[in-house]
């Protein structure tokens, strides 16, 4: 796999990145990528230490349903707006208005940012069948699936 590194401490801004990727490292456990990963990101310099990545990432995975184990499509169309800082600030920063991605700015790998955004936005459970259309589930199983149903009912 080819890596394209950027030096964000040098150069002119904004940096526009538009590409299609066949695969990325560390995405195998999410499922099989059906089509190319489409990426369009613009990186702006906000200050000496802070950069902003704006754009979108689009990818489609063939995943396995966690209930019935059938193969299903999981489509992600992500609008991203994430701050970028050098990794030396990672343990020093306090929570701010932007989510921040930390990486070495002299050897910035855009593929690492893309993979991280996909992981952060991938659903924690992948189900093609809900409790209404699965005959194998009984009422006791339904209550386990919806642990906060009683609290929601009380609020209504």
Whole-number pLDDT of residue 124: 84
Mean pLDDT estimate for the chain: 82
- What CA–CA distance (Å, rounded) separates 107 from 9? 9
> pTM of the prediction?
0.75
Whole-number pLDDT of residue 49: 87
Number of neighbours of residue 52 by Cβ within 10 angstroms = 17
Evaluate if residue 40 carries a pLDDT over 70: yes
Pairwise pLDDT comparison (12 vs 42), residue with the higher score: 42
Whole-number pLDDT of residue 9: 82
């Amino acid at each position: 796999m080819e890596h394209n590194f950027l030096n964000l401490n040098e150069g002119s801004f904004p940096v526009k990145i538009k590409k299609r990727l066949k695969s990325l490292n560390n995405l195998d456990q999410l499922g099989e990528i059906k089509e190319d990963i489409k990426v369009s990101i613009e990186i702006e310099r906000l200050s000496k230490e802070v950069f902003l990545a704006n754009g979108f990432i689009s990818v489609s995975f063939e995943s396995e349903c966690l209930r019935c184990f059938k193969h299903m499509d999981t489509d992600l169309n992500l609008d991203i707006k994430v701050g970028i800082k050098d990794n030396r600030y990672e343990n020093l920063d306090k929570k701010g208005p932007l989510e921040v991605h930390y990486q070495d700015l002299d050897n910035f790998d855009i593929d690492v940012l893309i993979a991280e955004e996909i992981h952060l936005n991938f659903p924690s459970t992948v189900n093609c069948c809900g409790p209404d259309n699965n005959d194998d589930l009984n009422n006791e199983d339904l209550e386990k699936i919806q642990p906060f149903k009683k609290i929601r009912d009380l609020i209504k």
